[in-house]
Amino acid sequence: MPKIVDHDERRLELVDATWRIIARMGIESATMREIATEAGFANGALKPYFPTKDTLLTFAFGHVFNRTNKRIAEVTAGLSGLAALRAFCIEVLPLDEERINEARIVIPFWQKAINDPGKAQIHRESMQQWLDTVRRHLAEARAGGEVSTAVDDESLAGQLLNMLLGAQIAAALLPEGQTELGLNGQLEGFLALLTSQPADR
């Protein structure tokens, strides 16, 4: 009998190989030949799955985003308010080698999105989903008395998302083997500011 090929599994193997290559060599060196070799495939075997590196990069971005969302759903189940917001942020922040490698996939995608309307739309929709989640948790926290700052939730959500995305850029530029950027402390500092009261005049 011919071997049954799991095409979805093959695609994910190629995505995993892609970010290993990007992590080691950078996006420009992540040729289809290098990716095929890393994944243990013949070079021509990639074309049925990803005709170009560009299509592979788009799929890889979607996979990273979906995988992050799956982690978020697991750790925020049953939580609300600041507890849910903290758990959300921890899953997005590049706090270990796996999430730093994810950032190294996301950043080349952003670079391509500057001149590619399709990729720009994917990015906007993804970030809108995260913004909506952050706004929801902030609203829960404010309703529960956990947030008392006079800064409005819309501004807070944008500030927090920009902090999370900036952390991915900083982490992607870390020397190999280094993972510490003090991000946990920065996150806790931001959350502490949410309970601050206006200074007496």
User: Rounded CA gap, 95 and 99, in Å?
Assistant: 6
Closest of 13, 1, 3 to residue 37, by C-alpha:
13
Q: Using 50, 70 and 90 to split pLDDT, how confident is the model at 164?
A: very high
How many beta carbons lie within 10 A of that of residue 102, not counting itself? 25
User: Rounded CA gap, 21 and 72, in Å?
Assistant: 26
- Structural tokens at position 171: 């982490």
Helices within the chain (DSSP H only): 7-25, 32-39, 53-76, 81-92, 97-113, 117-143, 153-172, 183-193
Given a contact cutoff of 8 angstroms between Cβ atoms, the answer to whether 104 and 179 are in contact is no
Q: Using 50, 70 and 90 to split pLDDT, how confident is the model at 36?
A: confident
Torsions phi, psi for 115 (to 5 deg)? -115, 15
The predicted structure's pLDDT at residue 5:
53
Given a contact cutoff of 8 angstroms between Cβ atoms, the answer to whether 15 and 53 are in contact is no
pLDDT tens per residue across span 109-146: 898 899 999 999 999 999 999 999 999 999 999 999 99
User: Rounded CA gap, 105 and 87, in Å?
Assistant: 22
Q: Which helix (H) or strand (E) holds 169?
A: helix 153-172
What share of the chain has pLDDT > 90, as a percent?
Answer: 50
pTM of the model: 0.84
User: Rounded CA gap, 33 and 41, in Å?
Assistant: 9
